[in-house]
Amino acid sequence: MKSTSTDTAYQERDVQAGAGAEAAGRKARVHPAVPAGLIAGSYVLALLLQLAGAPTAVLSVALLMRIVGCVLLCTSLFWWPWQKVTGVLVTLVVPALANILWNRELSGEDTLALRVLADVLQLVCVVGGAAWLWWTRRKD
């Protein structure tokens, strides 16, 4: 295929744009409220769906929201790597482990108070972790 002056102009533009982008540094593509909002909103959505009596398959939407929020957190430029690891541990791993522990060991009819305590701890971890992420984001 024969190269035209238009093709050459596009190639030069792409090379210049690439050099300028590397010189200027990476730009953030996602606002920091998106990961924090997805993480915090996922727990609120799960709680509302549970109260409405939604089937377990529908509750997976809230888990998917939390996972997407953690992925966006890990790819974001607004937090340092240690903050990202802490955020994922506090908002995803610790509540999941608490839920697994509850479903395996503590579930029973006489432990309603423990279930409420587990729900409150999950709420504090997820929403508190998302709030901590919001306050510790880089603002530059």
5-28 confidence digits (pLDDT tens): 555 554 554 544 444 444 456 676
pLDDT-based confidence at residue 98 (cuts at 50, 70, 90): confident
Q: How far is CA 28 from CA 63, 68, 80, in A?
A: 25, 17, 14
Measured CA to CA, the distance from residue 38 to residue 63 in angstroms comes to 10
- Does residue 43 carry a pLDDT above 60? yes
Measured CA to CA, the distance from residue 94 to residue 109 in angstroms comes to 24
Spatial contact of 87 and 79, defined as CB atoms under 8 Å apart: yes
pLDDT: which is higher, 113 or 70: 70
Q: For position 25, what pLDDT does the model report? A: 64
Residue 95 phi/psi, 5° resolution? -65, -35
- What is the percent of the chain where pLDDT is above 70? 74
Instruction: Look at the alpha carbons of 6, 10, 15, 17 in this order and tell me if their dihedral is positive or negative.
Output: positive
pLDDT-based confidence at residue 135 (cuts at 50, 70, 90): very high
> How does 104-123 read in b/e, with b if 16+ C-beta sit within 10 Å?
eeeeeeeeeeeeeebbeebe
